[in-house]
Structure 1
């Protein structure tokens, strides 16, 4: 089953449940957001990648307008709902300034594997400790999902987009684990290298080996 959505392409990936703050300044998107507010309708953010607008995106609702400017610009708070696939894209929705498109909502499994979750948290803690940013983990819920941590893994935009398309939570967890298993040792080695560089030029108090 498909539906028609106003579209707001951006060079980001937005995950279901995520809250996103946006500053709206282009006339076409001021029109889009104003109509969503007036009609209590939703809009979509398809990810804009290097080769153009991606096939997948996320549907969002406007929570509230934080600030309105004299020139019609707005600061808004939004929340992401679900994932969609673009079936047909219109560079301009009929009679509108902004793009639109026929989209197909995608089912997203959120069940996952508890053992994967434990391993992800363990590796995340190792990564953040190595980077000295452990405070980021304080608000992580016990039953966190892949989407809750996806923006905090050091993924590229393309990797985040690939995660958005992955329908199974277990597969997303596996993707994250592979990434963390690859990156954590690199970060640890980088920290060790930094320490070795710092020691260069210092007076060294070393015990010579017995000959």
Structure 2
């Protein structure tokens, strides 16, 4: 989870995809409002909030953000080949936005309430195939998770969030999985949609 404890007012970064707790996000930063966001979070050691875009676009006019999002801590910086700033952020706890406002420079700010962490629940026996599927996906698509402690594959929340991240879900489906508060229900719903992704 996010290492820092922000106040109720945080900068928001509306995106066209969903950041899950424990996930990693690569961002290319070029708009002044987001350069200011990076400076603020780096200086204060505080996270920003990532929310799925409910209406609008990532670039240009401020977008309307979904009400539930994920805190993101900046963990790395790079200078990209195009000369722009790149950052890597890691997803922490979830939050609900209670009020938003837009600064003069277009940066979206939100008043938030923090969601409690999910209870630690082992993957149920009837869903035991899902960690195996996840391990295969990580081997093919997400090498940064290959060294994850083995015990995480027994954690229903971690398995569910990683499957949500790696399966080709539509953004609104990923948002639905983010908003679920029962980790076993999340796994059951993911199991039920897996046949969509099986090759003929």
Tell me the residue number matched to 2:113: 104
Answer whether contact 2:29 2:86 (CA < 8 A) is retained. yes
Gaps of 5+ in 2: 1-6, 57-63
Match of 2:193 among 169, 179, 189: 179
Q: Structure 2 length as normaliser, TM-score?
A: 0.75
Please give the root-mean-square deviation of Cα atoms over the aligned residues, in Å. Answer: 3.0
Q: Quick one: distance in 1 between partners of 2:55 and 2:124?
A: 35
In the alignment, is residue 115 of structure 1 matched against residue 134 of structure 2? no
Which residue of the partner structure matches residue 67 of structure 1?
79
> 1:42-53 to 2 correspondence within 5 Å?
42-49=47-54, 52-53=64-65
1:44–1:57: 8 Å Cα contact kept in structure 2?
yes
SS at match of 2:17: coil
8 Å CA contact 2:70, 2:93 repeated in 1: yes
The aligned length equals 176
TM-score when normalising by structure 1: 0.71
Task: Tell me the CA shift for residue 153 of structure 1.
Answer: 2.1
Runs of 4+ that moved beyond 4 A: 68-71
Corresponding position of 2:172:
158
In 1: Cα distance, 2:82 partner to 2:177 partner: 39
The question of whether the paired residues in 1 share the 8 Å contact of 2:20 and 2:165 is answered with: no
Larger Rg: 1
Alignment partner of 1:7: what SS?
strand
